[in-house]
Amino acid sequence: MTYRPVPAATLPDLSRLTLGVEEEYLLLHSGTGESLPVAGRVLDSLAQTARGQSRREFRHSMVEMVTPVSADLTELREQLIALREAAADAAEAAGARLVAVGATPVREPHRTVPDEPRYHAMSRRFGPVAHDPAVCGCHVHVGVPDRELAVQVCNNLRPWLPVVQAITANSPLHDGRDTGHASWRSMQLERWPSIGPTPYFDSLADYEATVADLINAGIMLDAAMVYWYARPSVAYPTVEVRVGDVCPTVDDTVLVAGMVRALVATAADDVRVGADTPRIRDCLVAAAHWRAAHDGLDGDLIDLRSGRARPAWELVDDLFATVAPALERHGDLPYVREQLNRVRRDGNGAARQRRILARTDGDVRAVLEHLAAETRPCPS
């Protein structure tokens, strides 16, 4: 489908987009690696400033930290460092380790939900699915205050979100073993009826009507349960990209945030000029996401522009080339290029975990110790 160009005079200035990041972390036992139900103690012991940037999550073994709105990656990096340090200190005071990993790596004995009406409603509606082991994501918010534009931007993001998913893959472990998937979190989340690839919508009215139909069908409790991989945020004037596992290091997160902002900016530019938006079949989009979750960056990904499998890094390079003008406009090009080269050399989170497993004869505790060290940043 080709959109008619959106008159620039009707839209806000999008020359430099704002950013915000939400990161979810697990609280693990330092010896066994099991999840610990101490989130309440951790949140209560945070310093006042950090507590205002924290959120209670769906498991007693999880905490979420939310950055303030930022305009540049240097500021975002400083915010993430401060929040991770505060959360790691509070976790250690509660007898746990703060670990940025996408899925419960060993075991979660305590799977009850926090005592909040919404969480109890979700538990009643979705049953055992609501009591799966905890999973942790990285959600990037990019300022797009026009909701009609936000819907069209999400359409344009669809071909590239599996590539973002592959870059962030950071959960190969489940039940103390390698699952064979780079992102087990992605596989676990497929059990939820309102999580998955973003559908294509003709307009904001189409989007809102679909959400209303899904609520009426009982698939969602309300509009806040739109958990698609990209969506117009319910709470903020942003496009929220929520496809990724939580990243192991601050620099991994800032890399993804920079790439996502540039991708949203590029998509918004395309919508403004009425560029063609391909109607990719939903089954092919779903297949591309499955392949990204399975292979990460160490195999092939599906190029949704052609429908063909290609080496993952070829598609990462294509994505970088596509968003390079927007990266340059935001001043992010040198940093993102440097960090992509680092990931090309060292691997994403899943690859780094597997490398430790290989050299320690499958010692999961060594992997978790490494992840805990990566989670707590070293300012530089």
The Cα 270–Cα 156 span in angstroms is 8
Q: Does 4 map to a domain?
A: no
Tell me the three state secondary structure of residue 135: strand
Which secondary-structure segment (H or E) carries 23?
strand 19-28
Q: Does 8 map to a domain?
A: no
Query: Which residues have C-beta within 8 Å of that of residue 20, sequence separation ≥ 6?
Result: 66, 67, 68, 69, 70, 140, 141, 236, 238
Q: Does 153 map to a domain?
A: yes
Identify which of 245, 244, 247, 259 has the alpha carbon closest to the alpha carbon of residue 374: 247
Q: Is there a contact between 183 and 128 (Cβ–Cβ < 8 Å)?
A: no
pLDDT digits (tens, 9 = 90+) for 199-218: 999 999 999 999 999 999 99
- Residue 169 domain boundaries: 17-375
The Cα 111–Cα 188 span in angstroms is 15
Q: Is there a contact between 20 and 70 (Cβ–Cβ < 8 Å)?
A: yes
The Cα 346–Cα 57 span in angstroms is 31
Q: Is the pLDDT confidence value at 295 over 90?
A: yes
How many Cβ atoms are within 10 Å of 48's Cβ, its own excluded? 6
The Cα 374–Cα 366 span in angstroms is 12
Q: Does 5 map to a domain?
A: no
pLDDT at 15: 76
pLDDT digits (tens, 9 = 90+) for 54-91: 999 999 999 999 999 999 999 999 999 999 999 999 99
Please list the helix, strand and coil fractions of the chain in percent, rounded to the nearest 5, in that order.
Answer: 50, 15, 35
Q: Does 10 map to a domain?
A: no
CATH number where 202 lies? 3.30.590.20
Relative to beta strand 177-178, strand 173-174 is antiparallel
Q: Is there a contact between 50 and 58 (Cβ–Cβ < 8 Å)?
A: no
pLDDT at 106: 97
Confidence of residue 3 (pLDDT cuts 50, 70, 90): very low
Return the percentage of the chain with pLDDT > 90, whole number: 91
Whole-number average pLDDT of the chain: 94
The Cα 81–Cα 32 span in angstroms is 27
pLDDT digits (tens, 9 = 90+) for 18-54: 999 999 999 999 999 999 999 999 999 998 899 999 9
Q: Does 7 map to a domain?
A: no
Q: Is the pLDDT confidence value at 17 over 90?
A: yes
The Cα 303–Cα 284 span in angstroms is 10
Q: Helix 312-329 to helix 333-346 angle, to the nearest 10 degrees?
A: 160
Structure token digits, residue 39: 């989130």
Encode 182-218: b = buried (16+ Cβ within 10 Å), e = exposed. bbbbbbbbeebbebbbbebbeebeebeeebeebbeee
Q: Does 120 map to a domain?
A: yes
Domain count, the chain: 1
Tell me the three state secondary structure of residue 80: helix
Average pLDDT over residues 289-316: 98
Identify which of 256, 201, 192, 273 has the alpha carbon closest to the alpha carbon of residue 231: 201
Q: Does 152 map to a domain?
A: yes
Q: Is there a contact between 357 and 178 (Cβ–Cβ < 8 Å)?
A: yes
pLDDT digits (tens, 9 = 90+) for 237-286: 999 999 999 999 999 999 999 999 999 999 999 999 999 888 999 999 99
